[in-house]
């Protein structure tokens, strides 16, 4: 435990926790709770709810996880709430249509991977980390319990949520179960007696419902704290694996370094604020200098945080060599089964790209080739339906600037 931070006065804790925050409802409430915690020695209960709709996390998720880690380092108890039950409903937040619900088995399988990756950021100490599943209290609820919960909030207030209003005005259907989602998520705060709830800015409405429900159940209202959605490497959309503009939490150090060097210049202030602990004065100095130098510091800071044992000099050297057109020596190798060859002994390049893990399907691989996004031994390959022979030493297949795989003949 970081004993120095645990001893910080409430006002200094507050300033630390406010870094990068968009909404804080309310600052006075958080100050009061922090002061009381110091006086009583009772840590705050800080909740983050997550529906495990995808098993893989990226730096966009790490923004909130870092804030949770700050609470942990101050001695508070964070609650990682897995919405195994609510994921079966499907939260439409920020969506123009209902998100497809998942089965209980899918949510729990995703949750396992989700938690493993969360522990890359969070302290895995039962004193400051509690993992819960909202199926514990939601699954046993009967129909009468749901009706009683629904009676505590009005339809007018639910429809104040921006995405519901837009869909209603556009004539897009809204199912009744979607209207219940904010109530269900809000009830989680009641069940956990949360002091603070964290979330992205798209979760502000749902988190405020939890604040209102706690009052209605006779509890002290939670503080709601939201953080911005990290914009992805395209500089336009929020970071998302489906948009391929993401940096994964489990990306290898050299790949993470290379991606961070490609962060658009206008996004650097946000990335420094949300993903590092560098003082703002130092960040301002870096941003006033050459962008490449700022990128280099950002890349080294983030990689060192998520990969403490990484050789940062090696990651940086690899980035430089690849930027100059070189093929790294330490790349993964895949043996290609001989039965994948055609009658002429040649192999479909699209199939090889899939086998190398560069694309999920032959169709996607052909599209990549068509868009001049694939190279063989450093040369751009342009034949979507083409094939190649594999020499004894193999060939290097490449996607983008830093994804290399050596393909060798197998048996």
Is 238 annotated as contributing to ligand binding? no
97-106: long-range contacts, CB 8 A cutoff, minimum separation 24? 97/167, 97/172, 98/175, 98/178, 99/53, 102/53, 104/135
Q: Which residues are annotated as a binding site for ATP?
A: 241
Q: Which residues are annotated as a binding site?
A: 241
């Amino acid at each position: 435990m970081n004993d120095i931070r645990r001893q910080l006065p409430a006002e200094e804790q507050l300033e630390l926790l406010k870094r990068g925050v968009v909404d804080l409802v309310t600052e006075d409430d958080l100050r009061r709770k922090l002061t009381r915690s110091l006086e009583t020695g009772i840590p705050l209960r800080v909740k983050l709810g997550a529906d495990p709709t995808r098993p893989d996390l990226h730096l966009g998720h790490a923004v909130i996880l870092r804030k949770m880690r700050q609470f942990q380092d101050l001695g508070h108890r964070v609650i990682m709430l897995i919405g195994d039950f609510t994921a079966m409903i499907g939260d439409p937040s920020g969506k123009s249509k209902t998100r497809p619900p998942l089965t209980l088995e899918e949510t729990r399988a995703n949750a396992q991977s989700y938690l493993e990756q969360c522990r890359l950021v969070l302290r895995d100490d039962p004193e400051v980390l509690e993992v819960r599943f909202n199926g514990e209290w939601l699954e046993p609820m009967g129909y009468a319990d749901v009706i009683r919960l629904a009676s505590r909030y009005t339809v007018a207030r639910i429809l104040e949520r921006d995405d519901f209003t837009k869909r209603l005005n556009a004539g897009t259907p809204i199912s009744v179960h979607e209207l219940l989602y904010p109530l269900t998520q809000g009830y989680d705060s009641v069940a956990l007696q949360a002091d603070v709830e964290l979330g992205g800015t798209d979760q502000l409405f749902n988190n405020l419902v939890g604040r209102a429900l706690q009052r209605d159940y006779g509890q002290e209202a939670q503080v709601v704290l939201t953080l911005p959605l990290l914009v992805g490497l395209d500089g336009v959309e929020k970071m998302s694996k489906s948009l391929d503009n993401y940096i994964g939490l489990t990306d290898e150090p050299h790949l993470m370094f290379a991606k961070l060097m490609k962060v658009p210049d206008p996004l650097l202030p946000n990335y420094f604020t949300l993903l590092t602990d560098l003082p703002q004065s130092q960040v301002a100095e870096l941003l006033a200098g050459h962008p490449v130098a700022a990128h280099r510091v950002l890349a080294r800071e983030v990689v060192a945080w998520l990969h403490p044992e990484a050789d940062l000099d090696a990651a940086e050297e690899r980035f430089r060599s690849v930027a100059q057109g070189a093929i790294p020596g330490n790349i993964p190798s895949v043996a290609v089964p001989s039965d994948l060859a055609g009658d002429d002994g040649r192999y479909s390049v699209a199939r090889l790209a899939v086998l190398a893990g560069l694309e999920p399907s032959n169709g996607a691989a052909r599209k990549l080739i068509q868009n001049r996004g694939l190279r063989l031994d450093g040369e751009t390959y342009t034949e979507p339906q083409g094939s190649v022979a594999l020499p004894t030493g193999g060939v290097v297949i490449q996607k983008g600037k830093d994804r290399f795989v050596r393909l060798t003949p197998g048996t």
